[in-house]
Homo-oligomer: A and B are copies of this chain.
Amino acid sequence: MLDTLFRPRSVAVIGASTKELSIGNSVITNLQRFGYKGEIYPINPNSPEIRGLKAYRSLAEIPGPVDLAHIILPSKLVPQAMQECGEKGVKAVIINSAGFKEMGDAGAALQQEFLVKARKYGVRVLGPNCQGIINTDPALNAYCNFTNTIPKPGHVSVVALSGGVGGLIMQGLVDIGVGLRIYASNGNACDVSISEIVRYLGNDPETRAIVVYTEGFANPGEFLQVAREVAGKKPVLAMKAGRTEQGAKAASSHTGSLAGVDIATELIFEKTGVLSFADEGDLIRAAMAFSSQPIPKGNRVGIVTNTGGPAVIATDVLVAEGLDVPLLSEKSIARLRAALLPQAAVENPIDVVATASPAHFRAALDTLIDEDGVDAIFMNFVTPSFSDTQAIAREIVAVSQQGIKPIVCNFMSDLSQERFQVTQRILLDGGVPCCALPSDAARALGALARFGRIQRRPASEVRVFPDVDAGLAKRIVDAAISAGRSILSAQEVYGIFSAYGIPVAPWAVATTSAEAAAAADKIGYPVVVKVDCAAIDHKSDMGGVVINLPDASAVRSTLDQMQARLAHLGELKFFIQKFMPGGQELIVGASVERDLGHMMMFGLGGIYVEVLKDVIFKLAPVSRSEAEAMLSSIRSAALLDGIRGKPAVYKRGLVEVIQRLSMLLTDLPMIQEMDLNPIMAFADSVAVVDGRIRI
């Protein structure tokens, strides 16, 4: 679908200009300088020729077909230009002009006007208020963009909402010698979305890693779907800005797109295996590592250094990134002792010392390649005057190009000196990722390892429980909908839970004290009595809840008193439930997230949720491993393991509750919000003690 946008055989520039450095001139200059293999058609009513090319007065005059057109005109002229594009049969348009939705209502109307025309003719639109695209495929060399950074061909593709950030990511990649495949910045994103572009890049065989910058998604569900398809195939590295409230405000003021402090974007990244970055430098350097290095099969890293301190810094960061710097095997240590200088450290980090020869470096690297206890190699490589640094670099490249284990190099040098420039060139041309600072390099290797962990995640299969009575639950919800109620009664809530096999504290409904006492006898004492009335929001405050009733007579008198006290509410139903003190209070909840289904929440109840906000969210449906991760990733997770003599809670049962609830949410998408609060967890059972469902 997007092939004419990214692989145009001819490009028209509507608003081509003779004025150097203007956008209407730069786009043509860029196409020419980059060696574009297709036809370029400048369109300008006043100039017969622009930059040596015949210029046309209008699209219609162009003799051949036009795949792609840039529109670089004042915004009010864009709808007419779009009309002409449609008539000419142009397949894709890049609107570089600004002055649309980002400028308020009048601009939004103009945007809508050209969009209607585009849809009519089936023209796909990138932008408006955008930079454009670059495709470095040597068969094409399409630089349909007005920036001035010239990338070399490679395997990293970049897509960014913001041209400013897209440009700086591209510049960052160029600065560290990483080749680019496809670049796209879609500005106001009125038609072609980031999600569509990511899908296209997922299918581009030459794209090995995809870098995404966004400030939020207009259609998060579309991105969820695309990320599911693509992130499994190749690494997707993403950064979402506007993470703070003030950042989100800054974002909404400069784009027409949706922005807000949404945690949903991060949840999509996490669920689909998109690697999330909070720092654009880390993102760029990780892309460098992904462009040439294999993914480590585990978290264990061996370090080779020729200087002490930088290896200490790197070790700190690698460990913080979830990597392990393990002891080496006896065999490796013996091999290093035999091969290295006597003053070398044969621990991990292996310090070959500053006077090490290329052969010493090679021996250290070969040892780590052969060492079963190591999955990745980190290097601190400083360039002392007296070292043959170029020969050392060639050894590193030789080992890296075996492609057995990933290598990331912290290359520390004075690049104003030619011999060290040559050394770095050897490394970069050999595909060895280099960072000047140890922390930066360590985080780049950390990203490779993070992706490895994602690849090794247990298959996220969502369990379907055969013992569920989905029909019953559906009937309960449908009845409430028919009755025009949005809050379900306790009886309905528990009915739905029971239909899905979610354990609830034994309960019954009664209207008289005699019924209540009989029910309580059956349930067993102590019991709780609650008035079951959707109209009462805070039952406890109204005296509508009495706990720990020890026998039938207490139940009877409680009911009588409640009926007297709440008589003004009409005829009441009462909810009799087993009282279950002494467990660990927990909460599980769910709410609808725009366009994404439900977001589920887990936390410890009471102050842990209310005051300490110690909760974790995941997008439904939630698999077993995801449910397990919810339990283990709250800050207070240790409390689930039993403390101060309390036994550990029944985690398996809790995980199953979360999974069953996930299935319930999938089956009943009309549920807007629900809470299981609290769930009481004991050593060998869990039971929902109170619940709420809003539809």
Interface residues of A in 303-335 (CB under 8 A from B): 303, 307-313, 315-316, 318-320, 324-325
Chain B nearest CB from A430 CB (Å) reads 22
Question: Using Cβ atoms and an 8 Å threshold, which residues of chain B touch A437?
Answer: 168, 172, 280-281
Is there contact, CB below 8 Å, between A165 and B309? yes
Chain B residue, CB-CB nearest to A164: B307
Q: A667 — which chain B residues lie within 8 A by C-beta?
A: none
The segment from A361-369, A480-488, A632-640 that touches chain B is A632-640
A207 contacts the other chain (CB 8 A): no
Contact, CB under 8 Å: B385 / A254: no
Complex Cα distance, B213 from A416, in Å, reads: 24
Known A-B contacts A246-B319, A319-B244, A414-B149; A279 and B439 likewise in contact (beta carbons under 8 Å): yes
Contact A250:B312 (CB < 8 A) given known A412-B168, A440-B281: yes
Bound Cα distance from A244 to B314, whole angstroms: 11
Bound together, the chains give a CA A148 to CA B148 distance in angstroms of 34
Rounded to whole Å, the gap between the CB of A268 and the closest CB of chain B is 19
Closest CB of chain B to A188's CB: distance in Å?
A: 11
In contact, A253 and B612 (Cβ under 8 angstroms): no
Residues in B neighbouring A22, C-beta threshold 8 A: 386
User: Is there a chain B Cβ closer than 8 Å to A264's Cβ?
Assistant: no
Question: In whole angstroms, what is the CA distance A349 to B349 when docked?
Answer: 45
Q: How many chain A residues touch the partner (CB < 8 A)?
A: 90
Residues of the B chain whose Cβ atoms lie less than 8 Å from the Cβ of A610: 643-644
Complex: A325 Cα to B253 Cα, angstroms: 14
Tell me, yes or no, whether A195 is within 8 Å of chain B by CB.
Answer: no
Contact between B281 and A345, CB atoms less than 8 A apart: no
Contacts of A175 in B (CB 8 A): 415, 436
**Whole-angstrom distance between the Cβ of A463 and the nearest chain B Cβ:** 31
What does the 1/0 interface line of A255-288 toward B look like (CB < 8 Å)?
1000000000000000000000001110000000
Bound-state Cα–Cα, A250 to B302, Å: 12
The CA-CA distance from A606 to B645 in the complex, in Å, is: 12
Contact B171 A413 (CB under 8 A): yes
A307 engages B242 (CB within 8 Å): no
CB distance from A568 to the nearest CB of B (A): 27
Check if A343 sits within 8 Å of B103, measured CB to CB: yes
Q: Is B382 touching A241 in the complex (CB atoms < 8 A)?
A: no
A160 within 8 A of B: yes
CB–CB A644/B250 < 8 A: no
Minimal Cβ-Cβ distance residue in B for A388: B21
Q: When the two chains form the complex, which single residue of B23, B26, B254, B438 contacts A351, counting CB atoms closer than 8 Å? A: B254
**In the docked arrangement, what's the CA distance between A172 and B440, Å?**
13
Given contacts A439-B279, A636-B612, contact A165 B310 (CB under 8 A): yes
Known A164-B412, A312-B242, A343-B98: A643·B607 in contact at CB below 8 Å:
yes
Pick from B164, B249, B319, B636: contact of A310, CB below 8 A.
B164
Considering only residues 455-492 of chain A, those with a C-beta below 8 Å from chain B are: none
- A162 touches which of B312, B325, B436 (Cβ 8 Å): B312
Does A247 belong to the interface (CB within 8 Å)?
A: yes
Chain B residues, Cβ within 8 Å of A639: 607, 611-612
A241-B313, A349-B253 known; A382 vs B607 contact (CB < 8 Å): no
In the assembled complex, how far is the CB of residue A152 from the closest CB belonging to chain B, in whole angstroms?
12
Q: Which chain A residues in 627-669 approach chain B with CB under 8 Å?
A: 635-636, 638-639, 643-644
**What is the distance, in angstroms, from A263's C-beta to the closest C-beta of chain B?**
14
Q: Known interface pairs A98-B343, A171-B413, A171-B414. Does A312 touch B21 (Cβ–Cβ under 8 Å)?
A: no
Closest chain-B Cβ to A51's Cβ sits at a distance in Å of 14
Q: Does A186 contact B (CB under 8 A)?
A: no
Q: A307–B162 contact, CB under 8 A? A: yes
> Chain B contacts of A172 at CB under 8 A?
436-437
Chain A, 198-241, CB within 8 A of any chain B CB: 213, 215, 239, 241
Residue A146 is within 8 A (CB to CB) of chain B in the complex: yes
A99 within 8 Å of B by Cβ?
yes
Contacts of A313 in B (CB 8 A): 165, 239, 241, 247, 280
The distance from the CB of A214 to the nearest CB of chain B, in whole angstroms, is 10
Which chain B positions have C-beta within 8 A of A249? 315, 347
Q: How far is the CA of A343 from the CA of B438 in the complex (A)?
A: 43
In the complex, which residues of chain B have a beta carbon less than 8 angstroms from the beta carbon of A526?
A: none
Contact assessment for A162 and B99 in the assembled complex, using a CB-CB cutoff below 8 Å: no
A250 in contact with B349 (CB, 8 Å): yes
- Min C-beta distance of A551 to chain B, whole Å: 28
Is A163 interfacial (CB-CB < 8 Å)?
yes
Residues of chain B lying within 8 A (CB to CB) of residue A181: none
Cβ contacts under 8 Å, A251 to chain B? 308-309, 312
Q: A149-B414, A439-B280 are in contact. Are A311 and B250 (CB under 8 A)?
A: yes
Closest chain B residue, CB of each to CB of A252: B312
Residue A380, interface by CB 8 Å: yes
**Which residues of B have CB within 8 Å of A349?**
250, 253-254
Q: Chain B contacts of A26 at CB under 8 A?
A: 385-386
Interface readout for A82-115 with B: 1 if CB under 8 Å, 0 if not? 0000000000000000110001000000000000
Which of B148, B242, B343, B612 contacts A99, CB < 8 Å? B343
A402 an interface residue at 8 Å Cβ cutoff?
no
A327 vs chain B, min Cβ distance (A): 10
Sample of 11 A–B contacts (CB below 8 Å): A98-B343, A162-B307, A162-B310, A162-B312, A166-B309, A168-B412, A244-B316, A246-B318, A254-B309, A280-B437, A610-B644
Given contacts A167-B307, A607-B644, list 7 more A-B pairs with CB under 8 A. Answer: A163-B307, A164-B307, A168-B436, A172-B436, A244-B316, A611-B636, A612-B639
Q: Which residues of A contact B (CB under 8 A)?
A: 21-23, 26, 98-99, 103, 146, 148-150, 160-168, 171-172, 174-175, 213, 215, 239, 241-247, 249-251, 253-255, 279-281, 303, 307-313, 315-316, 318-320, 324-325, 343, 345, 347, 349, 351, 353, 380, 382, 385-386, 412-417, 436-440, 606-607, 610-612, 635-636, 638-639, 643-644
Ranked 3 nearest A-B pairs via Cβ = A162-B309, A254-B308, A164-B307
